[in-house]
Amino acid sequence: MNDGAAHRTGKWQVMRGVRSVEHFFTVPLVHAEPARGTIGLFAREYVSMDHDDPAELPWLLFLQGGPGGRGNRVTSLSGWMKEAARHFRILMLDQRGTGLSSPVNRQTLPLQATPRPRPSI
């Protein structure tokens, strides 16, 4: 089944004991209505250099605290990320409309959807 989603990655980069790679996703604006268009989502993956094959590790998706936050950009592993990267591939997602994901603002919203009347109570 083709749901309109696509995925590509950048090149792996190594800095201060951490591997990272960029992920670019194209997903439907409205999952149930793929004909309404797509948006781009960006995420960066971090993993410890302790692993020869990161693909063997399970994913840990980190969502920034609340709507409107982009994923952190780290240059070295410390704190919770250092411990988590020993067991997981950490994916820091730029939520829709933030960071390198498709912008969502007063200029772009009219291009992606039409207002619907509020249902009466």
Instruction: DSSP letter for 98, please.
Output: S
> What residues contact residue 29 under an 8 Å CB cut-off, 6+ apart?
36, 37, 38, 39, 112, 113
pLDDT value at 110 more than 80? no
Mean pLDDT value across residues 23-48: 88
Mean pLDDT value across residues 44-49: 91
pLDDT band at 1 (very low <50, low <70, confident <90, very high): very low
The rounded distance, in Å, linking the Cα atoms of 19 and 90 is 10
Are 98 and 68 in contact by the 8 Å Cβ rule? The answer is yes
pLDDT at 16: 83
User: How many CA atoms does the CB half-sphere of 112 hold within 13 Å?
Assistant: 17
30-41 pLDDT, tens digit per residue, is 888 888 788 899
pLDDT value at 64 more than 80? no
Residue 20 Cα to chain centre, angstroms: 13
For the chain, which residues make up each domain, given as ranges? Answer: 6-111
pLDDT value at 113 more than 60? no
pLDDT band at 4 (very low <50, low <70, confident <90, very high): low
Q: Per-residue DSSP letters for 31-89?
A: TT-GGG-EEEEEEEEEEETT-S-GGGSPEEEE--SSTTPPPP--SS--HHHHHHTTT-E
